[in-house]
Amino acid sequence: MLGPPDVGQRVVIRRIVGVREGRPLYSDVLGFLAAAGARDLLLEADSGVVLRVPVAAVVAAKRVPPRRVAAPGQVAALERAAGDAWPAPHTGRLGGWRLRAAGGWTGRANSALAVGDPGRPLPAAVDEVTRWYARRGLPARIAVPEPLAAPVARYLAGAGWTAAPEVLVQTVPLADLPPVPPAPRVDLDRYPTPAALALVAAQKGALPPAAYPVLYGPACVRFATVPDPAGGLLGICRGAVTRRRLHLGLMQVAPAHRGRGLATALLLALAGWAAGVGAHTGYLQVQHDNTAAVRLYRRLGFTTSHTYRCWTAP
């Protein structure tokens, strides 16, 4: 049976839809699992219809591969672009792997990116990663894209490392997004205002000195904000263009103003700016169980390129 870990994934559900001559009638439906409760599964079918399927009617259910599977080279290119878009101030190389440290601020900026050949047997590579982070007083972490680096994930699991929740890496061609809506007003700034930094700190934790190179490091970065007429901000999102791809992150909307299209306005404003500087693809990372965000991005045309997990040493 499907459950909360499957939310955001493409699935197939076989269900009982009726009875004829004393025999059950079955129907299969494909789509994205939007929610998984004790009594019902909420499915966004490939047809676009949202279905509520009673758990009692489900005969069988499982994950299925996405309709579009990114090639290994595309996944590697996207992960490297993402690393450039969220640049740690301290880096190292282990063959093709990239080692990153930013004083412990955010997992992505403080993990080794396992893309490519580390240039040595896997156990030796993992040991070197552990030593590199120990020298900096940080726990050893490795970000593992899947299925690209599935052998790394299997080794870490066997070695007792702990996996964080699965993250979906989703992409969309910028040309496929709708135009920027006329309202609400969205401001784009090269550097965030103090109010914007306060929102970032509330979301990601207090900002140490190492956080600022991460936030400002890319040459082409913008902070999109929706001002509150009464003062302050209603929402924020950061966009950074590297390798002609727009990374979208730090999306946050004030709780009292959610569901009013502010997140869409922020995203589209950054997409319009990025297209103007030569970007062709937008992408973001979202936890698989963030149901509201997954549904929003799906409505805008985002599809899952691949997934990743961040593993932490025992």
Residues 139 and 190 grouped into a single domain: no
Mean pLDDT of the region 104-129 = 97
In a domain, 71, yes or no: no
In a domain, 128, yes or no: yes
C-alpha–C-alpha distance, residues 250 and 139, integer Å: 24
pLDDT reported for residue 106: 94
Mean pLDDT of the region 57-84 = 85
pLDDT reported for residue 49: 67
Parent domain of 59: 4-63
Domain finish residue from 108, 135, 163: 163
Residues 194 and 274 grouped into a single domain: yes
Residue whose entry in the numeric block shows the structure tokens 């998984």? 36
pLDDT reported for residue 46: 58
Predicted confidence (pLDDT) at residue 63 exceeds the cutoff of 80: yes
pLDDT reported for residue 66: 63
pLDDT reported for residue 47: 54
CATH code at 47? 2.30.30
Which is more confident, 181 or 243? Answer: 243
Residues 223 and 278 grouped into a single domain: yes
Residues 251 and 281 grouped into a single domain: yes
Residues paired with residue 177 on neighbouring β-strands, in sequence order: none
**What pLDDT, in 10s, does the model give residues 178-236?**
888 888 999 999 999 999 999 899 888 889 999 999 999 999 999 999 999 888 899 99
CATH code at 307? 3.40.630.30
Residues 103 and 58 grouped into a single domain: no
How many domains would you assign to the chain?
3
Residues 105 and 50 grouped into a single domain: no
pLDDT reported for residue 64: 83
Residues 149 and 191 grouped into a single domain: no
What's the chain's average pLDDT? 92
Domain finish residue from 111, 145, 163: 163
Predicted confidence (pLDDT) at residue 81 exceeds the cutoff of 70: yes
Residues 177 and 294 grouped into a single domain: yes
Domain finish residue from 141, 163, 185: 163
Closest CA to 282 of 173, 167, 145: 173
pLDDT reported for residue 161: 98
Half-sphere exposure of 132 (CA within 13 A, CB side): 22
Residues 279 and 256 grouped into a single domain: yes
Q: What is this structure's pTM?
A: 0.79
In a domain, 80, yes or no: no
